[in-house]
Amino acid sequence: MVAAKKKPKPKKKEEAPMVFRGKRKESVARASIRKGKGVVRINSQLLSSIDNKYVREIISEPLRLAPEIASQVDISVNVYGGGQMGQAQACRVAIAHALVGFSGGSALKEKMLSYDRSLLAEDSRRVEPKKYKGPKARARFQKSYR
Protein backbone atom coordinates (compact mmCIF):
# COMPACT_ATOMS: atom_id res chain seq x y z
CA MET A 1 0.00 0.00 0.00
CA VAL A 2 1.26 3.45 -0.93
CA ALA A 3 0.70 6.27 1.52
CA ALA A 4 -1.05 9.24 0.03
CA LYS A 5 0.88 12.49 0.24
CA LYS A 6 -0.77 15.25 2.16
CA LYS A 7 -1.09 18.57 0.48
CA PRO A 8 0.47 21.43 2.45
CA LYS A 9 -2.03 23.88 3.85
CA PRO A 10 -1.96 27.24 2.16
CA LYS A 11 -0.48 29.89 4.43
CA LYS A 12 -2.49 32.90 5.36
CA LYS A 13 -1.45 35.78 3.24
CA GLU A 14 -0.19 38.58 5.47
CA GLU A 15 -1.11 42.08 4.54
CA ALA A 16 1.87 44.16 3.49
CA PRO A 17 2.58 46.98 5.92
CA MET A 18 1.91 50.57 4.88
CA VAL A 19 5.07 52.70 4.94
CA PHE A 20 5.18 56.43 5.72
CA ARG A 21 8.06 58.89 6.02
CA GLY A 22 8.94 61.78 8.32
CA LYS A 23 11.86 64.22 8.15
CA ARG A 24 13.42 66.78 10.46
CA LYS A 25 16.77 68.49 9.78
CA GLU A 26 19.10 65.64 8.71
CA SER A 27 16.97 62.86 10.25
CA VAL A 28 14.76 60.57 8.19
CA ALA A 29 12.26 58.15 9.76
CA ARG A 30 10.27 55.44 7.98
CA ALA A 31 7.28 54.05 9.84
CA SER A 32 5.62 50.81 8.75
CA ILE A 33 2.17 50.15 10.20
CA ARG A 34 0.07 46.97 10.24
CA LYS A 35 -2.75 45.48 12.27
CA GLY A 36 -1.56 44.24 15.63
CA LYS A 37 -1.67 44.68 19.38
CA GLY A 38 -0.43 48.25 19.84
CA VAL A 39 3.33 47.62 19.88
CA VAL A 40 5.57 50.56 18.89
CA ARG A 41 9.23 49.92 18.07
CA ILE A 42 11.91 52.49 17.25
CA ASN A 43 14.95 50.89 15.54
CA SER A 44 13.82 47.48 16.89
CA GLN A 45 13.58 48.83 20.47
CA LEU A 46 10.30 49.15 22.31
CA LEU A 47 9.15 52.73 22.80
CA SER A 48 8.95 52.16 26.56
CA SER A 49 12.67 51.24 26.68
CA ILE A 50 13.83 54.70 25.53
CA ASP A 51 15.66 56.28 28.48
CA ASN A 52 15.03 59.96 27.83
CA LYS A 53 11.52 60.75 29.06
CA TYR A 54 11.24 63.93 26.98
CA VAL A 55 12.13 62.08 23.76
CA ARG A 56 9.64 59.34 24.64
CA GLU A 57 6.89 61.97 25.12
CA ILE A 58 7.68 63.60 21.76
CA ILE A 59 7.45 60.27 19.92
CA SER A 60 4.27 59.13 21.68
CA GLU A 61 2.35 62.39 21.13
CA PRO A 62 0.47 61.21 18.00
CA LEU A 63 -0.36 57.93 19.76
CA ARG A 64 -2.11 59.84 22.56
CA LEU A 65 -4.24 61.75 20.05
CA ALA A 66 -5.54 58.52 18.47
CA PRO A 67 -5.70 55.89 21.23
CA GLU A 68 -8.43 53.81 19.54
CA ILE A 69 -6.31 53.33 16.40
CA ALA A 70 -2.97 53.08 18.23
CA SER A 71 -4.18 50.10 20.27
CA GLN A 72 -5.10 48.13 17.12
CA VAL A 73 -1.86 48.53 15.14
CA ASP A 74 1.82 47.67 15.38
CA ILE A 75 4.20 50.43 14.31
CA SER A 76 7.84 49.86 13.48
CA VAL A 77 10.01 52.93 12.85
CA ASN A 78 13.50 52.95 11.34
CA VAL A 79 15.26 56.27 11.82
CA TYR A 80 18.74 57.43 10.85
CA GLY A 81 20.79 60.62 10.52
CA GLY A 82 20.91 63.78 12.60
CA GLY A 83 20.82 64.00 16.37
CA GLN A 84 18.63 62.65 19.12
CA MET A 85 15.97 65.41 19.04
CA GLY A 86 15.84 65.54 15.24
CA GLN A 87 15.32 61.78 15.14
CA ALA A 88 12.57 62.01 17.78
CA GLN A 89 10.72 64.68 15.81
CA ALA A 90 11.13 62.75 12.55
CA CYS A 91 9.63 59.67 14.29
CA ARG A 92 6.76 61.81 15.55
CA VAL A 93 5.92 63.00 12.02
CA ALA A 94 6.23 59.49 10.54
CA ILE A 95 3.96 57.97 13.20
CA ALA A 96 1.37 60.72 12.76
CA HIS A 97 1.36 60.19 8.97
CA ALA A 98 1.05 56.43 9.50
CA LEU A 99 -1.92 56.73 11.85
CA VAL A 100 -3.74 59.14 9.52
CA GLY A 101 -3.01 56.93 6.50
CA PHE A 102 -4.14 53.78 8.29
CA SER A 103 -7.38 55.31 9.58
CA GLY A 104 -8.29 56.58 6.13
CA GLY A 105 -10.61 59.26 7.50
CA SER A 106 -10.15 63.00 7.57
CA ALA A 107 -11.41 63.35 11.17
CA LEU A 108 -8.07 62.26 12.67
CA LYS A 109 -6.17 64.48 10.26
CA GLU A 110 -8.23 67.51 11.31
CA LYS A 111 -7.76 66.61 14.98
CA MET A 112 -3.97 66.45 14.58
CA LEU A 113 -3.79 69.66 12.53
CA SER A 114 -5.84 71.55 15.11
CA TYR A 115 -3.66 70.19 17.94
CA ASP A 116 -0.28 70.90 16.33
CA ARG A 117 0.33 71.58 12.65
CA SER A 118 3.92 70.30 12.85
CA LEU A 119 2.61 66.75 13.47
CA LEU A 120 1.74 66.41 9.78
CA ALA A 121 3.60 69.31 8.11
CA GLU A 122 7.33 68.63 7.86
CA ASP A 123 9.76 71.42 8.69
CA SER A 124 11.35 72.38 5.37
CA ARG A 125 14.26 74.34 6.87
CA ARG A 126 17.70 72.96 6.09
CA VAL A 127 21.26 74.00 6.96
CA GLU A 128 22.66 76.65 4.64
CA PRO A 129 25.96 75.66 3.01
CA LYS A 130 29.21 77.39 3.93
CA LYS A 131 30.54 79.97 1.44
CA TYR A 132 34.17 80.35 0.40
CA LYS A 133 34.80 83.88 1.80
CA GLY A 134 33.93 83.11 5.40
CA PRO A 135 34.12 80.64 8.28
CA LYS A 136 30.36 79.91 8.22
CA ALA A 137 27.38 80.35 5.92
CA ARG A 138 26.82 84.08 6.53
CA ALA A 139 29.81 85.23 8.63
CA ARG A 140 32.81 86.75 6.84
CA PHE A 141 36.47 86.69 7.75
CA GLN A 142 37.52 89.84 9.63
CA LYS A 143 40.06 92.26 8.13
CA SER A 144 42.88 93.69 10.21
CA TYR A 145 44.85 96.62 8.75
CA ARG A 146 46.97 97.42 11.79
Q: What's the CATH code of the domain at 32?
A: 3.30.230.10
Asked whether residue 123 is domain-assigned, the answer is no
Per the structure, the complete domain to which residue 76 belongs is given by 18-117
Q: Is a pLDDT exceeding 90 seen at residue 11? A: no
Asked whether residue 90 is domain-assigned, the answer is yes
Q: Is a pLDDT exceeding 60 seen at residue 1? A: no
Q: 20 and 56 in contact (C-beta within 8 Å)?
A: no
The pLDDT value given to residue 80: 96
Asked whether residue 104 is domain-assigned, the answer is yes
Q: How many domains does the chain have?
A: 1
Rounded CA gap, 47 and 114, in Å? 25
Its pTM stands at 0.82
